[in-house]
Amino acid sequence: MKKITLITLFILSFSLAAAQQMVIYDHKAPRSLKVALSRVKSAGEKIEKLIYTKDNEWLLATATKRWYSNISYFKNLKGSGNIGLWNRLEADARSGKKLESLGITNRGNWVVLYKDGTLRTSSTKAFTDNGLIPQFNQIRSQSSRAVKVFLGPAGSWVLGDVHARLYSNNLPRGLRLLVESIEKSKLRLTDMAFRLRDNNEFHWTVVAGGNYWKSGAPGSALWSRLEGMNSTKNIVNAVGLQSGDGFTLVSQYKWLPRSTDVLSKIEQEVAGNTLYQRMRYHKVPGVVLAHIRRGRLVEIRPYGYRKKYKHYPMNSFARFPVASLSKAIASAAILKGEEQGLWDLDDSFGDMLKGNSNLTTSRNWYATLNQTQRDWIVEATLKSMLNHTSGLNVHGIGTYSPDGRVPSLEDILYGGNGRAKVFPTTAPGSSYSYSGGAYSLIESMVEQSVGKEFWRFTKDQILSPLNMSQSTMRSLSRAGRINYAEGHENNKGVGYSVCPGKAAGGLFSDAFDYSKFIVMLANLGKQGPGAQDPRYLRESSVRKMMTSAATRSSPMNFCREKRECRVFERCIENKCMRPVLDGSQWHSGLGLKFPARRLDNRLPSFVQHGGVQQGYRHFFRLYNDNKDALLILTNGQCQWEHRNRDGSKEERGACNLTTEIMTSFHRKK
């Protein structure tokens, strides 16, 4: 049983306003139900529950009124108890009780919640044995009140209390994780419906906030109707699923976000459409968004599927291989090592070889280079390896199936196991060349300097101190892959893979964990903006991450501000330096990229980094003026070519989608 408690109570992720017009979408709904819905609409009352039984009988209820498909059926609906549901509801109504929620199992057992906190059940024993009544009593003992109840097959249930806490029992793993992430994401669970069948199969639909999830394949009539509600900003507040493929959706509310509810705004407008529409357009199965506001994590929301072909819903805890987002973590760990006196980032490769006899791999690799390459690499500093100005080649390390032969770190450096060799192609400090190979070289140097594997070093320096317990640069165990968000290309899963270059692209993480790292960057080394928030990195170290790679171009030995340097130079670390830009005029720091514009505090206006590997595209951007940030994790193919009917072609994919989402965030933050 569950578990998570919200720190902030009663935080709604969207605001609701009563719609003047009830919107009803149905598929094979009985005419009698349509008549009952029309009466509710005419009365202007709020629907508390719409539910179908496994026999496709239905019950519609507001707080004070009830409509039945077959009164005789509900009089005899007793489950393992002695009183029928109709008798119970009508007797309580006569005594003035107002309905809050109700649920019915496929065996005819039922639970009724009233607004005064009363709980009625068909069988005390049945709901004590499956844990629902003990959980209800525990909620009451915490000075709270249960307001939602949902009963599924095989003794499963979900209880929601007045503070938006959720408790569950015996849900299948994917649905349980989704329910937990809805609570953690501070979305209010609106309704949940099950298809009740004799074989205890789990078919379900969940609506929370302006979002929806369902079991089974997308593209069904139900999915299309849910998307239709979403695109017209109608919040679904009642869902009824028949035992076949029939359903009824009702909306009595319009979506009205709070001014600070940035994610709801993004959901409704990305490149002129809803987020779900853009995901479908770009064939991106799943997305997780994390919003950081004023230096603190605000909320995280999941969308779509983490494994589309198995119809596993995405959830906020899903683990992704975050590709090159690993570089920022690796850089921070190496900076932490510098703080501890293990090395100096201004040390050159040559000085490191002379001063450390343990660097056997680096020394042997150096021996394989020609004289020109040796002359270049000995001058390369550790800093230049992290900011892509060391002159080393090998753009990306790539990923491999663990079932095959995964290259070793030595294979990456020496060019073994079918790989291209890492070697310098230019003098260090003169130009920008994105190099995963440089990160692999420094990874080897760190491992042999400290006598431990890089994944463990990073865990000790960054992941554990930041409590990033779901993050690792180690290959995931089978248990660790249970909530794995699988990458997709051409709408097909690509399976589990690993990156042998841990520093360059080997991190596995989820949105909650990686957000902790972004929060630390936003607060210049602290885990929050408050005076009492703990510090993990020195401010000077974080500023190094956000300092442009630069080369000396002036005889000036010292400067305090830019005006003391020439026009094309900047005052960097009290020296007049010429920034080294990439081909798109971006500045490069340590595991970060940023534009030229600087704030009064000498930080870049924003910093960012992306990551791409087979079946994935990730991105984050942090604005340094207000400490706002957005993290985007996707499990879709970066780019693919779509042919239009007129023969023209256009590029689609997760890379385009992340750009569209970030553009929307930039406008709405």
Quick one: pLDDT at residue 1?
Answer: 38
Integer angstrom CA distances of residue 556 from 360, 550, 572: 39, 14, 12
Residue spans per domain, the chain: 15-256, 323-547+589-597+606-668, 548-588
pLDDT at position 12 is 37
Structure confidence at residue 329 (pLDDT)? 98
Q: What would you report as the CA-atom Rg of the chain, rounded to the nearest whole angstrom? A: 29
Phi, psi (degrees; rounded to nearest 5) at 493: -70, 145
Beta strands in 90-186 (DSSP E): 99-104, 110-114, 119-121, 146-151, 157-161, 166-169
DSSP assignment of 431-497: S----HHHHHHHHHHHHHHHTS-HHHHHIIIIITTTT-TT-BSSPPPTGGGTTB---EETTEE----
- Whole-angstrom Cα distance, residue 175 to residue 313? 7
Closest CA to 610 of 589, 631, 628: 631
Cβ–Cβ < 8 Å for 290, 514: yes
Which pTM does this prediction carry? 0.92
Chain CA centroid to CA 382, Å: 32
**Partners of 577 in beta bridges:** 552, 570
| Per-residue pLDDT at 645 | 87
- Look at residue 554 in the predicted model and tell me its pLDDT: 60
Tens digit of each residue's pLDDT (9 = 90 or more) over 314-361: 999 999 999 999 999 999 999 999 999 999 999 999 999 999 999 999
**Contact in structure between 620 and 297 (CB atoms under 8 Å):** no
Question: How much is the pLDDT for 19?
Answer: 42
pLDDT tens per residue, range 19-63: 447 899 999 999 999 999 999 999 889 999 999 999 999 999 999
Q: Hey, what's the torsion of the CAs at 663, 664, 667, 669, to 10 degrees?
A: -110
Q: Which CATH number fits domain 323-547+589-597+606-668: 3.40.710.10, 3.40.50.720, 2.40.50.140, 3.40.50.280?
A: 3.40.710.10
Mean of per-residue pLDDT scores for the chain: 92
Counting as low any pLDDT under 50, the low residues of the chain are 1-20
Helix axes 275-282, 221-231, angle to 10 degrees: 130
| pLDDT number for residue 555 | 61
Under a CB-based contact definition with an 8 Å cutoff, are residues 427 and 384 in contact?
A: no
Distances (CA, A) of 120 to 81, 136, 153, 493: 11, 11, 19, 46
Which run of H or E residues covers position 252? strand 247-256
